[in-house]
Amino acid sequence: MNEAVSAKNPSLARRRWQRWGIGCLRLSVILAAMLCLWCKPVSESIDLEAYLALGKEVYPTAQKLGETSDGWHALLTADGDLLGWVTTTNPQARQVQGYAGPSELAIVADAQHRVKRVQFWRSADTAGHVEKVRRDQRFWTQWDGRAEASLGLYENPQLVSGASLTSEAMARGLAARFGATGMEQLFARELSIDEVKPWFATASNLIQKEGCYEVRDGEKLLGMVLRSSRMAVAVRGFNGSSDVLVALDADDAKVLGVAVRESRENEPYLTDVKDELQYAHGFAEASIEQIIGTADHTDLLLVSGASTTARSVFGTVQEMLRRHTREQQSTAFPWRISLGMVWLSAGVWLGFRGGKKSRAVFACCSVVAGLGLGWMVGQDQLIGWGQHGWKTLPALPLLVMTAIALIIPAFTGKNVYCSRICPHGAAQTLAGMAWKKRWALPARVHRIFSAVPWLSLLAIWALALAGSRLPFAHAEPFEVWSTGFVALLPAVVFTMSIVVSFFLPQGYCHYGCPTGALLKFLTHAPGRWTRRDSIAASLVAVAWLVTLF
Ligand code: SF4
């Protein structure tokens, strides 16, 4: 019908092509900015001022940096006397990934290369986990006084509970900087066929899958071996986690046995637990459900005098089986993702067809989905994809959500993400409905505050394009939906935006949200090239020129 109308009315068809053409150009501007981040050479240029500032915190009489030696920069007094040395863990630490990316630490040492201070420098890891590590003084002081020669030994580092993968990646990165090899992988040694023979005597080959190995005798499937370090399960004992194996029968119902391959735990506790597993066979023939449902580890793994190590191994086994069971359930039918997709589809449909009546009901759905799934679109994510490339692209649902947020407004002029889907927008909608009293800012104040989202969007992208590695997730409240109130800044923005929205409807959306500004950029003046487009295109062109030359 519409085609027929367009065919009869050339100006309508022309307008549609104009709208699509401008939509394509606007999306291209955003893509070009992300591509520019990706093409930006990873700067190894060293911030000498920051090095000196750090050096001065430890040695207040330090006035300048001197010669460099093996990556260390000399800290000198005004007279040129050597006080100490300063360095960071990159580039060696860059291959060591935490939850979401690598981290870099800075180290200040005295003149004899003994550590005076280890300090956080920057990180591409999840901001909430990084924040937990930054607050843990015991983590940062564990290297104090150690000689440089011992820093390459990776032995039982003090990790941070609740951020073990991030803190472990930082500790491994530091060891890598001082010569340790294989730090990019936790428990790097590969599993051999001999290690599974106690459970599968006729095993002839291992086929590696995600987090586990299929054990076969020729073509015949004998069973499966789960491996904790490949499932990212790390339950800490006294000194660290262990690389635990859990053997399952071919029906995937019973546990044949459990073994600890390597561990950060202390002797003799570790040997006691290994011996118990090897000779007492406490787990053998237990069903997966039985092990998951066991509250007291001593029912299956009783090791007197090594209860902390035994508890951590038992906790590791339980978590491995829980995840394995969840994966099995997820291969049966991905309920969580499917419900998420239904939510997104309903949001898009209501964005075009829904009336006011559906607003409150769907806002509740979006808040529940936000709390349950944690899916959000934010600047940190777009910048991260640009900086770290396709390898860091998330699972399909988040990609679909981002496509909905960006592509639909560009081509239709309708911002369905903000109007229906965004959980933070939905929470503000509900808060606004709960309170009858409304404020409206005076026209002049409204005009001034309306510039804030645009300015923050500009500032975030300018900093990212200038090579800043600031945690951009802190500029928005969205991380709180997935990690909770961990990082201070997102927690403050989150709380303030919800409180304000009781009185000032969608206050944060109108006067604070950079992602909202980006989406407004896509929807403003459909089919018309405006001053905003010229500014955005010029800024991205300048960024490209700076990157290329
Ligand atoms: S403006 Fe920001 S907070 Fe508001 S709905 Fe849009 S993305 Fe969400």
* Closest C-alpha residue for ligand 1 atom 4: 509
**Cβ(425) – ligand 1 distance below 6 Å:** yes
pLDDT value, residue 61: 93
**Cβ(516) – ligand 1 distance below 6 Å:** yes
pLDDT value, residue 392: 47
Q: What is the whole-number distance in angstroms between the Cα of residue 398 and the centre of ligand 1?
A: 16
* Closest C-alpha residue for ligand 1 atom 2: 516
pLDDT value, residue 485: 75
472 with 126: CB under 8 angstroms?
no
Polymer length of the chain: 549
Ligand 1 atom nearest residue 419's Cα? 5
pLDDT value, residue 470: 76
SS3 state at 233: coil
Domain-by-domain residue ranges, the chain? 88-177, 193-332, 336-548
**Cβ(515) – ligand 1 distance below 6 Å:** yes
Mutating to test ligand 1, I would choose from 419, 509, 511, 519 the residue with most ligand atoms within 8 A of its C-beta, which is: 509
Q: What is the whole-number distance in angstroms between the Cα of residue 465 and the centre of ligand 1?
A: 23
- 173's enclosing H/E stretch is helix 164-177
The 3-state secondary structure of 411-459 reads: HHCCCHHHHHHCHHHHHHHHHHHHCCCCCCCCHHHHHHHHHHHHHHHHH
Pairing of strands 220-227, 242-249: antiparallel
State the Cα–Cα distance between residues 448 and 391, nearest whole angstrom.
40
357-373 helix and 423-434 helix, angle to the nearest 10 degrees: 130
**Cβ(432) – ligand 1 distance below 6 Å:** no
State the Cα–Cα distance between residues 30 and 36, nearest whole angstrom.
10
262 with 187: CB under 8 angstroms?
yes
Q: In what order do the strands lie in the sheet with 115-123?
A: 64-69, 72-76, 82-88, 103-110, 115-123
DSSP class of residue 114 equals B
pLDDT value, residue 290: 86
Q: What is the whole-number distance in angstroms between the Cα of residue 381 and the centre of ligand 1?
A: 15
SS3 state at 209: strand
Mutating to test ligand 1, I would choose from 379, 508, 511, 513 the residue with most ligand atoms within 8 A of its C-beta, which is: 513
State the Cα–Cα distance between residues 436 and 126, nearest whole angstrom.
38
pLDDT value, residue 6: 53
pLDDT value, residue 44: 53
Ligand 1 atom nearest residue 497's Cα? 3
Q: What is the whole-number distance in angstroms between the Cα of residue 424 and the centre of ligand 1?
A: 6
Q: What is the whole-number distance in angstroms between the Cα of residue 516 and the centre of ligand 1?
A: 5
Mutating to test ligand 1, I would choose from 449, 452, 481, 508 the residue with most ligand atoms within 8 A of its C-beta, which is: 508
Q: What is the whole-number distance in angstroms between the Cα of residue 425 and the centre of ligand 1?
A: 5
Q: What is the whole-number distance in angstroms between the Cα of residue 36 and the centre of ligand 1?
A: 25
Task: State both tokens at 262.
Answer: 């390597």
**Cβ(509) – ligand 1 distance below 6 Å:** yes
Mutating to test ligand 1, I would choose from 424, 429, 501, 524 the residue with most ligand atoms within 8 A of its C-beta, which is: 424
Q: What is the whole-number distance in angstroms between the Cα of residue 102 and the centre of ligand 1?
A: 29
**Cβ(424) – ligand 1 distance below 6 Å:** yes
367 with 430: CB under 8 angstroms?
yes
- Exposure string (b/e) for 261-282, b if CB count within 10 Å is 16 or more? bebbbbeebbebbbebbeeeeb
**Cβ(426) – ligand 1 distance below 6 Å:** no
pLDDT in tens, 24-60: 999 999 999 999 988 876 555 567 888 999 999 999 9
Positions of the chain with pLDDT under 70: 1-10, 41-46, 99-100, 162, 184-186, 188, 232, 234-241, 264-266, 326-334, 388-395, 483, 486
Ligand 1 atom nearest residue 513's Cα? 2
Q: What is the whole-number distance in angstroms between the Cα of residue 357 and the centre of ligand 1?
A: 20
Asked whether the CA dihedral 523, 525, 526, 527 is positive or negative, the reply is negative
pLDDT in tens, 231-270: 767 666 665 667 889 999 988 888 998 988 887 666 777 7
- Exposure string (b/e) for 3-32, b if CB count within 10 Å is 16 or more? eeebeeeeeeeeeeeebeebbeebbebbee
Q: Quick one: 294 exposed, middle or buried, by C-beta within 10 A (0-12, 13-18, 19+)?
A: middle
Mutating to test ligand 1, I would choose from 418, 450, 480, 493 the residue with most ligand atoms within 8 A of its C-beta, which is: 418
Q: Which segments within 1-159 are labelled E, that is strand?
A: 64-69, 72-76, 82-88, 103-110, 115-123
Task: State both tokens at 530.
Answer: 């405006």
How open is the CA angle 204-210-211, to the nearest 5 degrees? 85
312 with 236: CB under 8 angstroms?
yes
**Cβ(513) – ligand 1 distance below 6 Å:** yes
State the Cα–Cα distance between residues 4 and 288, nearest whole angstrom.
62
Ligand 1 atom nearest residue 415's Cα? 6
State the Cα–Cα distance between residues 132 and 122, nearest whole angstrom.
14
Task: State both tokens at 131.
Answer: 């924040």
450 φ/ψ angles, rounded to the nearest 5 degrees: -65, -20
pLDDT value, residue 286: 84
443-465 helix and 379-388 helix, angle to the nearest 10 degrees: 20
Mutating to test ligand 1, I would choose from 515, 520, 521 the residue with most ligand atoms within 8 A of its C-beta, which is: 515
**Cβ(418) – ligand 1 distance below 6 Å:** yes
Q: Write the single-letter amino acid at 252.
A: D
Q: Is the peptide bond before 91 cis (omega within 30 degrees of 0)?
A: yes
